[in-house]
């Protein structure tokens, strides 16, 4: 995928009361996501590959490598459970 395309998106349910942190190792980013909000990290370079981590209340709940032709959407529900949906192009 090209620069500017979605690498990862995280949405946190409004009813969740904990802390959610998204990390992207390829860009040295660590973003806090508040309940009821969503964040998105886009590729900075064509075909960028990145290690993604998601932490809920300090516990790592997701860790994977997003390939050059992939993106992932992660959702944290009101109970702190995480679901993911991969997109391959």
- Which of the four pLDDT bands, split at 50, 70 and 90, describes residue 89? confident
* pLDDT confidence band for 1 (50 / 70 / 90): confident
Residue 1 placed within a domain: no
Residue 58 Cα to chain centre, angstroms: 15
Which CATH number covers residue 64?
Answer: 2.60.40.10
In a domain, 32, yes or no: yes
Supply the DSSP string of 22-41, one letter for each residue.
EEEGGGTEEEEE-TT-EEEE
For 28-76, write each residue's pLDDT tens digit. Answer: 999 999 999 999 999 999 999 999 999 999 999 999 999 999 999 999 9
- 86 belongs to a structural domain: no
Report the number of distinct structural domains present in the chain: 1
Given this model, what pLDDT does residue 24 score?
A: 97
β-pair type (29-33, 20-24): antiparallel
> Considering the domain boundaries, does residue 84 fall inside one?
no
Examine residue 18 and state whether it is found in any structural domain, yes or no. yes
In a domain, 43, yes or no: yes
Range of the domain at 64: 6-79
């Amino acid at each position: 995928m090209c620069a500017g395309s979605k690498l990862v998106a995280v949405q946190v349910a409004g009813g969740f009361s904990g802390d959610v942190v998204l990390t992207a190792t390829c860009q040295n980013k660590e973003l806090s996501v508040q309940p009821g909000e969503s964040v998105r990290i886009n590729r900075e370079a064509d075909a960028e590959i990145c290690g993604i981590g998601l932490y809920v209340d300090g516990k790592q709940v997701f860790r994977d490598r997003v390939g050059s032709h992939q993106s992932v959407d992660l959702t944290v529900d009101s109970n702190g459970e995480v679901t993911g949906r991969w997109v391959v192009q």
